[in-house]
Amino acid sequence: MAVVFEKPKALSDVPFHYCPGCTHGIVHRLVAEVIDELGIEGTTVGVASVGCSVFSYNYFDCDMVQAAHGRAPAVATGLKRALPDNCIFTYQGDGDLAAIGMAETVHAATRGENITVIFINNAIYGMTGGQMAPTSLPGQVTQTSPYGRDVSTAGYPIRVCELLSTLSGTALAQRVTVDNVKHVLEAKKAIKKGFENQINKRGYSIIEVVSTCPTNWGLAPAEAVKWLQDNMLPYYPLGVYKDVTAEGGNN
């Protein structure tokens, strides 16, 4: 009988711990499919960050390093400089990448580190139980913004792709989501481009995936997708913010 659907080889055969309706599972699968298609599992090293995806070292079947909160780009830099011919990727959430790890993120990008960054933006701290993130929307109610994010005291959410697109070392800054089949396919294409950029030594690639967190948003999975479409996508427009391959040439 023909096999029509199977687990990517680059995913370990263990159940995810993610909540129902969380998009981490889809994104993990896309990353693993790309690793399989490029045939790079044996030369890839992933860096897990602190947050819900911390256990991704159990899920990806390549070598994995677990980094301190926010430090994944620095750990990835050390790995890449020691292993220039291997593929190094980080998998980071919004608190990790855009709050505590913003310095490491900006400097890895501006150095043009040849790494691929998968950035999960779900506008909340998931692992610690739903606190305000640097990407929480104005007015968004969280455990630490119980009256809604007040921009006069808590400031404005950071648009990461727009910010990193201004840096010369950034090869790819693209925002995608996985709310429907079309968008899932586009997300996979972007992730693949991020890995191909690394293989072709083009510099730092970031793929921001606008994601759901039904548990901490207090919504059912289907409602969470609707909330993402109605609230997150207007603030975080999908699209390519920088792509050196489209500009014609390697940097």
Q: Contact residues for another protein (CB under 8 A)?
A: 12, 41-45, 47-48, 54-55, 57-58, 60-68, 71, 74-83, 86, 103-104, 106-107
Measured from the CB atom, the residue of 53 and 177 that comes closer to another protein is 53
Smallest distance, another protein to C-beta of residue 243, A = 25
What are the backbone angles phi and psi of residue 241, rounded to the nearest 5°? -95, -25
| Vertex 10 angle, CA 34 and 75, to 5° | 85
State the angle between helix axes of 181-199 and 24-38 in degrees (0 to 180), rounded to the nearest 10.
50
- CB neighbours (10 Å) of residue 231? 16
Smallest distance, another protein to C-beta of residue 126, A = 16
Measured from the CB atom, the residue of 45 and 178 that comes closer to another protein is 45
Half-sphere exposure of 179 (CA within 13 A, CB side): 21
Smallest distance, another protein to C-beta of residue 242, A = 21
Smallest distance, another protein to C-beta of residue 22, A = 18
Measured from the CB atom, the residue of 106 and 141 that comes closer to another protein is 106
State the angle between helix axes of 72-82 and 102-110 in degrees (0 to 180), rounded to the nearest 10.
40
Smallest distance, another protein to C-beta of residue 91, A = 14
- The secondary structure of residue 121, as a DSSP letter, is E
Long-range contacts of 37-40 (CB under 8 A, 24+ apart): 37/192, 38/87, 38/192, 38/195, 38/196, 38/199, 40/87, 40/195, 40/199
| Vertex 104 angle, CA 162 and 171, to 5° | 45
Smallest distance, another protein to C-beta of residue 100, A = 10
Measured from the CB atom, the residue of 81 and 239 that comes closer to another protein is 81
Whether residue 121 contacts residue 158, with contact meaning beta carbons closer than 8 Å, is answered with no
The token duo for 223 is 């409602």
Measured from the CB atom, the residue of 54 and 171 that comes closer to another protein is 54
Measured from the CB atom, the residue of 104 and 243 that comes closer to another protein is 104
